[in-house]
Structure 1
Amino acid sequence: MSSVPHTPTSAPPRRRRALPPLGKGPHTTRLGLVAVIATFGGLLFGYDTGVINGALAPLTRDFDLTPVTEGVVTSILLLGAAVGALFGGRLSDRFGRRHNILLLAVIFLVAAIGCVVAPSFEFISVARFVLGLAVGGASVTVPVYLAELAPTERRGGIVNRNELMIVIGQLSAFVINAIIGNVWGDVEGIWRVMLAISALPAIALFIGMLRMPESPRWLIAQGRENEALAVLEQVRTPERAAAELAEVHDMAEESEISDNQDGQTGGWRDLRIPWIRRILLVGIGLAVAQQFTGINAVMYYGTQLLTDAGFSASGALIANTANGVLSLTGVLVGFRLIRRFGRRTLLITGFGGTTIAHLLIGFSSMLIPEGIGRASVILVFVVIFVFVTQATIAPIVWLMLAEIFPQKFRGFGLGVSVLFLWLANFAIGLFFPSVVDSFGITATFLVFAGIQVLSLVFVFTSAPETRGRSLEQVEEDLSTGTIAVINMPENIDGAAKE
């Protein structure tokens, strides 16, 4: 089954020449350093979303929070992230990816300090909303920055280093929470120490990005081709840099002709174009489906979930670190899977696996008597669910959102898609405690299982395959409707070995 073709008014694009091999040398080290520095944004993303998991109990005690205000403190960051994702994409299109990451580092630091000194529930809620602006901005800017700097052959692995840093950030938060909570858990205001640690990677991100280059594709879009070539020569061999510059330049010229004919502007007006409207809906669908796996319900409320399952408070803090460990392990396994299998194959496998995991969690809660035995079984199935999600769905969705939108529409399209991702995340963060409290673990996870079936149908019928194609080829294929929905692209060669 193929996507509905878009009939261009210009002549069909010519077949593109194969790019020279990447080669090895100082440029390889430089590209690796750029990826490490930029993904400190992902580390902050992970730590700031995961730290509330262990900080919530002492925070509740100090501010006398109710279940409703607990949900607000947890989810207000996600509402801020939705706003940050929408505007972060537009700002990165206008001012550049690097500039945006520098700005986000400052916001991360200021908001972290605000959370630490918060004197009241209202103050910390505002501070966490501002922190969410930075999290949302990073979630759309960092993957695009990495995708536009990475060569086609390595794009999957490099972009998903951001997902690796996200889960490292979450695992760090879980481990730090467990240590601090078990050693100094009775100290008043101990949650402030947990939140303060995020200031360190924010400082590292700002200092590191001062020496990093701008995205070459963004520079070309601004007509700054000499600067773009200089950037490419930092992270490619000279021959490869020149060839990539020519490819991007040719695609930009063809895109400009198409834009003039179709009226493409890089904003809301582009939704009049059928293929852009369709791919935006696919992006939104993938983003929402990723969140309704329930992965972040476990990341935010794992400690409370395990307490409800039967663990003691201190035991739940320690057991919850297993979620972080399996999350990290899953992403590492996902790195290998991305190099061997298509995006669609991994998405379909992932949604099938999460459906089974949710059913096992729900039925275990219903059929096994209360006690440490039931708690241990539920923990096993929860960590299996986390592993499957992080090895397949989570990294693939972020990767595809960075791949599927055309250059002129990329920041805006990714921003809108991630806006919906964070709104779905916000809804789960706000209502999950109340739903579990009202209906129990069994009903909650059986509902999640039903949602996974719907997501599986959506992916099978609508998600395109993008593996093994440059960003320019993806744009060309989507605009002409030549990417197959079910089949892999026909021209999969060495470039597919990401």
Structure 2
Amino acid sequence: MTAPAAKNSSPTPAGGGSSRADGAARAGGAAGGALPPLTPGPYRRRLGTVAFVATLGGLLFGYDTGVINGALRPMSAELGLTAVTEGVVTSSLLFGAAVGAVFSGRVSDAVGRRTTIIALSVLFFVGALVCVLSPGFAVLVVGRVLLGLAVGGASTVVPVFLAELAPFEIRGSLSGRNELMVVIGQLAAFTVNAVIAAIWGEHEGVWRYMLAVAALPAAALFIGMMRVPESPRWLVAKGRDERALDVLGRIRSPERARAEFEEIRRAVHTEHARVRGEARGAGGLGAVLRTRWLVRIVLVGIGVGVFQQLTGINSIMYYGQAILIDSGFQENAALIATIAPGVIGVIGALVALRMMERVDRRTMMLIGYSLTTLCHVLITATSLLLPEGSPARPVVMLILIAAFVGSMQTFLNITTWVVLSEIFPMRFRAFGMGIAVFLHWTTNALLGLTFPSVLEAVGLTGAFGGFAVVGVLAVLFIHRFLPETRGRSLEDIEAVVRSGRRTSQSPARAGG
């Protein structure tokens, strides 16, 4: 069946339409072909179900990175880990994630987003079993690397899958659900750690119980992904037009599905014609290095990913218990107290989803880095002004850490992953995201490996003072280089990036 071409004139919104819908219509026009507005219907529920299943990958991402916070101390006691081997166990997952991120993008380009996520669910399950059954340090590191490959793959492929499925009007909030599931997974890890420690804390191998829980969502992800469709943009890129239109027809109204299909097909055909006119190797790193605008947007993506890690957020997630003990908490109280930042993080992520279609991405990130930098300055000041042993010190530090986590989750974490899923062109989307996320995870791994030593060497004052300096640089970088993507189709964003324009406003705010 051949779908009729979308009309080029902008549709007139029905009476009483919201300003957001008007902005969406203008954005559709900016994309080169107006799309019919979104309307309520069963397709919206089907889209939500697909998003929920895919974001179980984010839940596993969060759980497997957060569980080490409570599992590390009993693990160290049983296996006789030193400070160095503790860092190796923690960072082995992160180095694995860096490798998984850079390769999973190319794999998903070849075999599909859906198939790749199914394979990652198997890797999550196997990695969890290897960790739970590990007899010693070496096998445990192997299991953590396997989990890392799955975490890195999920962090690359799931956001791309969601961005390619989502209508541009709600792409930010739909894609952002993955980061919400990440923080829910981290909160689940903190809570499970506290509950298991309270019930079976005296059991040998209690950390194995904590790690074993991850097998349950891994099985759910495998079963669920067997029933969801492939990305329609990937299908069109592979010449499977009828299948792509069928998928769009299940998650869009019929009129919208046909119009969006034509827009995607035009963009893909234009790109294929451009590739035929380019030199050999146009789809890989060679093409990026030869093309100025591609180099520019890859560097922007790398900056977005790396600066998010240099806030130190994952130092809190991995070593939060140690930081709170250093602040003055007792060991068990510190383990329970880690739940508070986890709860704040989930609340912040829910607020972020509400704002994703109302506040520009650049604005979100500028506010986020400003607030997190302020929190770093206050944590540094507290560690200087309130001496160890002061009864106020642990309380103030917990409040400031919770404020930092809340600022990150409200303004930065979801926005970072949404922006990374949006800014790269179709032909380089998974490849560009893989490079950016590879360096994101490499930075994460280096921080995970060195933070215990840094904390021991310079204390909270030096560690968070350093994060504050990096935060200032991040504000300057985002203000200077990040283009605005809210309210634009992926095809329109590609046109903006290709032109080299630094668009600082969404179409709705700019009025066109």
In structure 2, what is the equivalent of residue 108 of structure 1? Answer: 124
Alpha-carbon distance in structure 1 between the residues aligned to 2:329 and 2:440: 31
Shift in CA distance, 32/493, structure 1 to aligned 2, threshold 3 Å: farther
Q: Which residue, 199, 203, 216 being the options, matches 1:187?
A: 203
Alpha-carbon distance in structure 2 between the residues aligned to 1:288 and 1:261: 34
State the SS of the aligned residue for 1:231.
Answer: helix
1:296 matched to 2:314? The reply is: yes
Q: Which residue, 232, 239, 244 being the options, matches 2:260?
A: 244
CA contact (8 A) 1:143 1:398 kept: yes
In structure 2, what is the equivalent of residue 276 of structure 1? Answer: 294
Gaps of 5+ in 2: 1-28
State the SS of the aligned residue for 2:351.
Answer: helix
In structure 2, what is the equivalent of residue 74 of structure 1? Answer: 90
Percent identity reads 51
In structure 1, what is the equivalent of residue 378 of structure 2? Answer: 360
Using the TM superposition, give the Cα deviation of residue 14 of structure 1 relative to its aligned residue in structure 2, in angstroms: 9.4
Tell me which moved more, 214-223 or 182-191.
182-191
1:63 matched to 2:90? The reply is: no
Aligned Cα root-mean-square deviation (Å)? 1.5
1:164 matched to 2:183? The reply is: no
* Counterpart amino acid of residue 216 in structure 1: P
Q: Deviations for 1:192-250, whole angstroms, at most 9, x for unmatched residues?
A: 00000000000000000000000000000000000000000000001000000000111
Using the TM superposition, give the Cα deviation of residue 483 of structure 1 relative to its aligned residue in structure 2, in angstroms: 4.3
Q: Which residue, 256, 268, 276 being the options, matches 1:260?
A: 276
Using the TM superposition, give the Cα deviation of residue 419 of structure 1 relative to its aligned residue in structure 2, in angstroms: 0.2
Using the TM superposition, give the Cα deviation of residue 491 of structure 1 relative to its aligned residue in structure 2, in angstroms: 5.5
Q: Deviations for 1:279-298, whole angstroms, at most 9, x for unmatched residues?
A: 00000011000000100000
Using the TM superposition, give the Cα deviation of residue 182 of structure 1 relative to its aligned residue in structure 2, in angstroms: 2.5
1:335 matched to 2:353? The reply is: yes
In structure 2, what is the equivalent of residue 320 of structure 1? Answer: 338
CA contact (8 A) 2:31 2:491 kept: no
Using the TM superposition, give the Cα deviation of residue 323 of structure 1 relative to its aligned residue in structure 2, in angstroms: 1.1
Alignment of 1:28-427 (within 5 A): 28-263=44-279, 265-271=282-288, 272-371=290-389, 372-427=391-446
Using the TM superposition, give the Cα deviation of residue 109 of structure 1 relative to its aligned residue in structure 2, in angstroms: 0.3
Shift in CA distance, 153/489, structure 1 to aligned 2, threshold 3 Å: closer
State the SS of the aligned residue for 2:388.
Answer: coil
In structure 2, what is the equivalent of residue 466 of structure 1? Answer: 485
CA contact (8 A) 2:31 2:492 kept: no
* Counterpart amino acid of residue 449 in structure 1: A
State the SS of the aligned residue for 1:16.
Answer: coil
Alpha-carbon distance in structure 1 between the residues aligned to 2:278 and 2:473: 34
Shift in CA distance, 334/403, structure 1 to aligned 2, threshold 3 Å: same
Using the TM superposition, give the Cα deviation of residue 256 of structure 1 relative to its aligned residue in structure 2, in angstroms: 1.9
Q: Deviations for 1:275-316, whole angstroms, at most 9, x for unmatched residues?
A: 011100000011000000100000010011101110001100
Q: Deviations for 1:381-440, whole angstroms, at most 9, x for unmatched residues?
A: 000000001111111110011001111101110001000000000011001111001111
Shift in CA distance, 490/21, structure 1 to aligned 2, threshold 3 Å: closer
In structure 2, what is the equivalent of residue 451 of structure 1? Answer: 470
Using the TM superposition, give the Cα deviation of residue 15 of structure 1 relative to its aligned residue in structure 2, in angstroms: 6.4
Q: Deviations for 1:319-375, whole angstroms, at most 9, x for unmatched residues?
A: 110011011111011112212110100111111101100011111011012233201
Q: Deviations for 1:44-79, whole angstroms, at most 9, x for unmatched residues?
A: 000000000000010000011111111110010000
* Counterpart amino acid of residue 188 in structure 2: S
In structure 1, what is the equivalent of residue 5 of structure 2? Answer: none
CA contact (8 A) 1:307 1:316 kept: yes
* Counterpart amino acid of residue 286 in structure 2: R
* Counterpart amino acid of residue 281 in structure 1: L
* Counterpart amino acid of residue 249 in structure 1: R
Alpha-carbon distance in structure 2 between the residues aligned to 1:85 and 1:408: 17
* Counterpart amino acid of residue 33 in structure 1: T
CA contact (8 A) 1:116 1:193 kept: yes
CA contact (8 A) 1:468 1:493 kept: no
Using the TM superposition, give the Cα deviation of residue 262 of structure 1 relative to its aligned residue in structure 2, in angstroms: 3.9
* Counterpart amino acid of residue 64 in structure 1: G
Using the TM superposition, give the Cα deviation of residue 490 of structure 1 relative to its aligned residue in structure 2, in angstroms: 4.3
Q: Deviations for 1:92-127, whole angstroms, at most 9, x for unmatched residues?
A: 011000000000000000010000000001110111
* Counterpart amino acid of residue 376 in structure 2: H
Shift in CA distance, 490/104, structure 1 to aligned 2, threshold 3 Å: closer
Using the TM superposition, give the Cα deviation of residue 17 of structure 1 relative to its aligned residue in structure 2, in angstroms: 2.4
* Counterpart amino acid of residue 447 in structure 1: G
Using the TM superposition, give the Cα deviation of residue 26 of structure 1 relative to its aligned residue in structure 2, in angstroms: 1.1
Tell me which moved more, 312-321 or 364-373.
364-373
Gaps of 5+ in 1: 1-12
Tell me which moved more, 333-342 or 123-132.
333-342
Shift in CA distance, 294/171, structure 1 to aligned 2, threshold 3 Å: same
* Counterpart amino acid of residue 408 in structure 1: R
Alpha-carbon distance in structure 2 between the residues aligned to 1:72 and 1:286: 26
CA contact (8 A) 1:143 1:159 kept: yes
Alpha-carbon distance in structure 2 between the residues aligned to 1:21 and 1:306: 50
Alpha-carbon distance in structure 2 between the residues aligned to 1:160 and 1:309: 33
Alpha-carbon distance in structure 2 between the residues aligned to 1:59 and 1:493: 54
State the SS of the aligned residue for 1:132.
Answer: helix
Using the TM superposition, give the Cα deviation of residue 255 of structure 1 relative to its aligned residue in structure 2, in angstroms: 1.6
Using the TM superposition, give the Cα deviation of residue 478 of structure 1 relative to its aligned residue in structure 2, in angstroms: 1.0
Using the TM superposition, give the Cα deviation of residue 257 of structure 1 relative to its aligned residue in structure 2, in angstroms: 2.5
Alpha-carbon distance in structure 2 between the residues aligned to 1:185 and 1:414: 41
State the SS of the aligned residue for 1:425.
Answer: helix
Using the TM superposition, give the Cα deviation of residue 259 of structure 1 relative to its aligned residue in structure 2, in angstroms: 2.4
CA contact (8 A) 1:295 1:389 kept: yes
Using the TM superposition, give the Cα deviation of residue 493 of structure 1 relative to its aligned residue in structure 2, in angstroms: 8.5
Alpha-carbon distance in structure 2 between the residues aligned to 1:304 and 1:490: 46
In structure 2, what is the equivalent of residue 5 of structure 1? Answer: none
Shift in CA distance, 405/474, structure 1 to aligned 2, threshold 3 Å: same
In structure 2, what is the equivalent of residue 9 of structure 1? Answer: none
In structure 1, what is the equivalent of residue 22 of structure 2? Answer: none
State the SS of the aligned residue for 2:483.
Answer: coil
In structure 1, what is the equivalent of residue 500 of structure 2? Answer: 481
CA contact (8 A) 1:67 1:433 kept: yes
In structure 1, what is the equivalent of residue 25 of structure 2? Answer: none
State the SS of the aligned residue for 2:338.
Answer: helix
* Counterpart amino acid of residue 333 in structure 1: V
CA contact (8 A) 2:380 2:461 kept: yes
Using the TM superposition, give the Cα deviation of residue 481 of structure 1 relative to its aligned residue in structure 2, in angstroms: 2.2
CA contact (8 A) 2:487 2:507 kept: no
